């Protein structure tokens, strides 16, 4: 179906339309009322829509029904000139649409012909390029490691403390030696475990992680060791392989090992000493080859002295010890992590945002009690929850903004100015216009403009 056929000289048009069917770009033609007259085969293919669903329809309705997010044709009709827009087709394809008005002898628009080119691939290339550029920019003074697994993650660092840790990791990774990683919550202990596993020759074998604090004691034992068929009521008939056995050849993380109950500690010690596991209810044991890494944010030595952690187990699991310092003690990492997460969340949510240098400085000076986890969460929340494109210090969560009192001394002038800013911003939001806001506030609108300009520059 196409409505162009109703136009004069329909034979010529029919032939032209046949030609258009072979054009690789999508072609979309609307009449002066914004009603679709024609779409070609390439457009159907690009969009996944059928022409019978589009022809005869008003563009505005197609937007409302979610076919397209904006209409170049309607803009051309309104502005009476050729223009190009980026558009999302069917919510998935990125296309660039160029709409051209076709005028009749009287100078009125007769139709709008739009060509639609798929730039999804180009956009991907652009994003990849931007990513590579940012990464190489970030890379100047630090190392990164990419793990391509089920989830892509990057290990970033720049501080001398972390450089030393990574050197140690590189040194010990090839050996099956057990490693204890200590450090506060969110500091990156688990990421270091990933790093060790991926740097070892075990990287093609499993890396199994068990959080000793998250699993109830009775279950933890059967998860770790497995059981024979009928070993206890409720157990599976055919028995179950334990995680330690499953990790054979690979790496095993005992996360939050400080929470492991004493009886299990004894059993674990035996596994490490004998390099064998025995399923619950079985009298046979099986040889296993695993590297054990343990992690904790508790002080194990203190637990040892309190009789809550076995001394013999401690020395077995802590042949090599790695202590991850809190983020506030490795200032060199904060900067690269801010850039990294900010860029990544921008890309992930396809949102354009900018951090003012002053905002970044507040973030750098903050003491990050929740370490990298906290930093990552804050960066995500800044990207998704601040409507403004430019993120100013006052957009930061209150506790972070207030931590920067040295940067923003609370003298009278500052406090009055902050209050003034708030009043002006509210008036502008309410009136949706600087001129109207000025009128409401009883000041000349150039006064208001000057203020906004000054605040914009000052951050
Ligand atoms: N060097 C790093 N580069 C990039 N991201 C990191 C780095 N270190 C940690 N992260 C990220 O920070 C978050 C917290 O890290 P991780 O889970 O390793 O901390 P943790 O020390 O194991 O914390 P917890 O004690 O609470 O288990 C994760 O999202 C992780 O991906
Ligand atoms: Mg952890």
304-324 pLDDT, tens per residue?
Answer: 999 999 999 999 999 999 999
Nearest alpha carbon, ligand 1 atom 16: 188
State the distance from the centre of ligand 2 to the C-alpha of 295, rounded, in angstroms. 7
Distance separating alpha carbons of residues 257 and 298, to the nearest angstrom:
9
What's residue 432's pLDDT? 84
Q: Which two tokens stand for residue 154?
A: 């990057």
Residue 246, C-beta contacts closer than 8 angstroms, at least 6 positions apart = 206, 208
The DSSP code sequence of 41-100 is HHHHHHH---HHHHTT-BHHHHHHTTSBSS-HHHHHHHH-S-EEEEEEETTTEEEEEEEE
Work out the angle between the directed axes of helices 412-431 and 445-458 (0-180°, nearest 10).
120
Q: What is the number of the ligand closest to the CA of 371? A: 1
Nearest alpha carbon, ligand 1 atom 24: 185
Work out the angle between the directed axes of helices 331-349 and 357-365 (0-180°, nearest 10).
130
Would the CB of 161 count as within 6 Å of ligand 1?
no
Instruction: Quickly state the pLDDT bin for 428 (edges 50, 70, 90).
Output: confident
Distance separating alpha carbons of residues 204 and 202, to the nearest angstrom:
6
Atom of ligand 1 nearest to the CA of 297: 25
Would the CB of 26 count as within 6 Å of ligand 1?
no
What's residue 127's pLDDT? 63
Ramachandran angles phi, psi of 103, nearest 5°: -95, 145
Q: What is the mean pLDDT of residues 339-368?
A: 92
The DSSP code sequence of 174-236 is TS---EEEE--TTSSHHHHHHHHHHHSTTTTS-EEEEETTTS-HHHHHHHHHEE-TTSSTT--
Ordered alpha helix ranges (H), 289-366: 300-305, 311-317, 331-349, 357-365
Atom of ligand 1 nearest to the CA of 190: 18
Would the CB of 154 count as within 6 Å of ligand 1?
yes
Residue 164, C-beta contacts closer than 8 angstroms, at least 6 positions apart = none
**H helix or E strand, kind and range, residue 263:** helix 262-274
Which of 368, 373, 380 has the most ligand 1 atoms within 8 A of CB, as the residue to mutate? 373
Would the CB of 191 count as within 6 Å of ligand 1?
yes
Comparing 278 with 146, the larger pLDDT belongs to 278
State the distance from the centre of ligand 1 to the C-alpha of 258, rounded, in angstroms. 18
State the distance from the centre of ligand 2 to the C-alpha of 211, rounded, in angstroms. 8
Q: What is the number of the ligand closest to the CA of 144? A: 1
State the distance from the centre of ligand 1 to the C-alpha of 186, rounded, in angstroms. 5
- Residue 356 near residue 394 (C-beta atoms within 8 A): no
Instruction: Quickly state the pLDDT bin for 93 (edges 50, 70, 90).
Output: confident
Would the CB of 188 count as within 6 Å of ligand 1?
yes
Instruction: Quickly state the pLDDT bin for 149 (edges 50, 70, 90).
Output: very low
What's the longest Cα–Cα distance across the chain? Answer: 98
Distance separating alpha carbons of residues 245 and 228, to the nearest angstrom:
13
State the distance from the centre of ligand 2 to the C-alpha of 138, rounded, in angstroms. 26
Distances in Å between the Cα of 170 and the Cα atoms of 159, 183, 196, 258, 454 are: 16, 19, 8, 26, 51
Instruction: Quickly state the pLDDT bin for 35 (edges 50, 70, 90).
Output: very high
**Tens-place pLDDT, residues 208-245:** 899 998 888 888 898 899 888 776 666 666 778 888 98
Average pLDDT, the chain: 86
Q: 14-18, 355-359, 371-375 — which one is most confidently predicted on average?
A: 371-375
Q: Is the pLDDT of residue 158 over 60?
A: yes
Instruction: Quickly state the pLDDT bin for 187 (edges 50, 70, 90).
Output: very high
Of the candidates 122, 110, 95, the one whose C-alpha atom is nearest the C-alpha of residue 30 is 110
Q: What is the mean pLDDT of residues 381-396?
A: 90
C-alpha 1: how far from its chain's center? 45
- Residue 277 near residue 245 (C-beta atoms within 8 A): yes
- Residue 69 near residue 47 (C-beta atoms within 8 A): no
Instruction: Quickly state the pLDDT bin for 370 (edges 50, 70, 90).
Output: very high
Q: What is the number of the ligand closest to the CA of 193? A: 1
State the distance from the centre of ligand 2 to the C-alpha of 458, rounded, in angstroms. 40
**Which position has the token pair 């660092």?**
157
Nearest alpha carbon, ligand 1 atom 4: 155
What's residue 177's pLDDT? 95
State the distance from the centre of ligand 1 to the C-alpha of 185, rounded, in angstroms. 8
Q: Which two tokens stand for residue 363?
A: 């973030």
**Tens-place pLDDT, residues 97-122:** 888 999 888 889 999 999 888 877 77
What's residue 257's pLDDT? 96
Q: What percent of the chain has pLDDT over 90?
A: 51
Would the CB of 344 count as within 6 Å of ligand 1?
no
**Among 96-105, 252-261, 352-361, which is the least confidently predicted range?**
96-105
What's residue 322's pLDDT? 97
Instruction: Quickly state the pLDDT bin for 142 (edges 50, 70, 90).
Output: very low
Would the CB of 226 count as within 6 Å of ligand 1?
no
State the distance from the centre of ligand 2 to the C-alpha of 312, rounded, in angstroms. 24
State the distance from the centre of ligand 1 to the C-alpha of 28, rounded, in angstroms. 50
Would the CB of 155 count as within 6 Å of ligand 1?
yes
Q: Is the pLDDT of residue 148 over 50?
A: no
Instruction: Quickly state the pLDDT bin for 162 (edges 50, 70, 90).
Output: very high
What's residue 145's pLDDT? 44
- Residue 265 near residue 308 (C-beta atoms within 8 A): no
Q: Which two tokens stand for residue 23?
A: 């054009």
What's residue 459's pLDDT? 46
Q: Is the pLDDT of residue 150 over 50?
A: no
Instruction: Please name each of the domains of the chain with its CATH number.
Output: 3-118 (3.30.450.20), 160-326 (3.40.50.300), 329-458 (1.10.8.60)
Count the helix, strand and coil residues of the chain and give each as a percent rounded to the nearest 5: 50, 20, 30
State the distance from the centre of ligand 2 to the C-alpha of 311, rounded, in angstroms. 23
Atom of ligand 1 nearest to the CA of 372: 12
Would the CB of 189 count as within 6 Å of ligand 1?
yes
Instruction: Quickly state the pLDDT bin for 82 (edges 50, 70, 90).
Output: confident
Q: What is the mean pLDDT of residues 50-63?
A: 92
Q: What is the number of the ligand closest to the CA of 341? A: 1
What's residue 130's pLDDT? 58
């Amino acid at each position: 179906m196409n409505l162009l056929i109703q136009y004069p000289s329909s034979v010529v048009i029919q032939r032209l339309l046949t030609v258009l069917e072979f054009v690789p770009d999508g072609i979309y033609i609307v009449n002066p009322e914004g009603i679709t007259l024609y779409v070609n085969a390439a457009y159907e293919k690009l969009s996944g829509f059928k022409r019978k669903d589009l022809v005869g329809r008003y563009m505005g309705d197609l937007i409302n029904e979610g076919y397209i997010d904006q209409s170049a044709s309607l803009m051309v009709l309104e502005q009476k000139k050729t223009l190009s827009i980026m558009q999302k087709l069917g919510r998935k394809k990125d296309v660039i649409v160029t709409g051209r008005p076709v005028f009749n002898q009287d100078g009125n628009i007769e139709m709008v012909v739009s060509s639609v080119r798929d730039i999804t691939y180009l956009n991907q290339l652009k994003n990849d390029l931007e990513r590579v550029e940012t990464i190489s920019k970030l890379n100047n003074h630090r190392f990164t490691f990419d793990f391509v697994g089920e989830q892509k993650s990057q290990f970033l660092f720049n501080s001398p403390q972390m450089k030393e840790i990574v050197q140690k990791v590189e040194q010990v990774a090839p050996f099956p030696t057990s490693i204890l990683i200590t450090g506060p919550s969110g500091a990156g202990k688990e990421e270091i475990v990933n790093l060790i596993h991926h740097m070892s020759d075990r990287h093609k074998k499993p890396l199994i992680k068990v959080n000793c604090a998250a699993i109830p004691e009775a279950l933890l034992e059967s998860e770790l060791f497995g059981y024979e068929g009928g070993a206890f009521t409720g157990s599976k008939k055919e028995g179950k392989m334990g995680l330690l056995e499953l990790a054979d050849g690979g790496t095993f993380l005992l996360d939050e090992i400080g929470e492991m109950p004493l009886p299990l500690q004894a059993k674990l010690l035996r596994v490490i000493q004998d390099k064998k596991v025995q399923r619950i209810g079985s009298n046979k044991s099986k040889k296993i080859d695993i590297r054990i890494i343990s992690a904790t944010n508790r002080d194990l030595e203190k637990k040892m002295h309190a009789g809550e952690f076995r001394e013999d187990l401690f020395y077995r699991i802590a042949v090599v010890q790695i202590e991850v310092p809190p983020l506030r003690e490795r200032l060199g990492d904060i900067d690269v992590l801010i850039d990294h997460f900010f860029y990544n969340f921008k890309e992930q949510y396809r949102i354009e945002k900018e951090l003012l240098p002053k905002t970044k400085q507040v973030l750098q000076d903050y003491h990050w009690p929740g370490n990298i986890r906290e930093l990552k969460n804050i960066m995500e929340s800044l990207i998704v929850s601040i409507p403004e494109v430019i993120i100013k210090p006052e957009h930061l969560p209150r506790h972070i903004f207030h931590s920067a009192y040295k940067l923003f001394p609370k003298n009278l002038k500052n406090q009055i100015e902050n209050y003034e800013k708030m009043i002006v911003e509210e008036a502008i939001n309410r009136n949706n216009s600087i001129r109207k806001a000025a009128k409401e506030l009883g000041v000349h609108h150039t006064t208001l403009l000057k203020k906004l300009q000054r605040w914009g520059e000052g951050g």
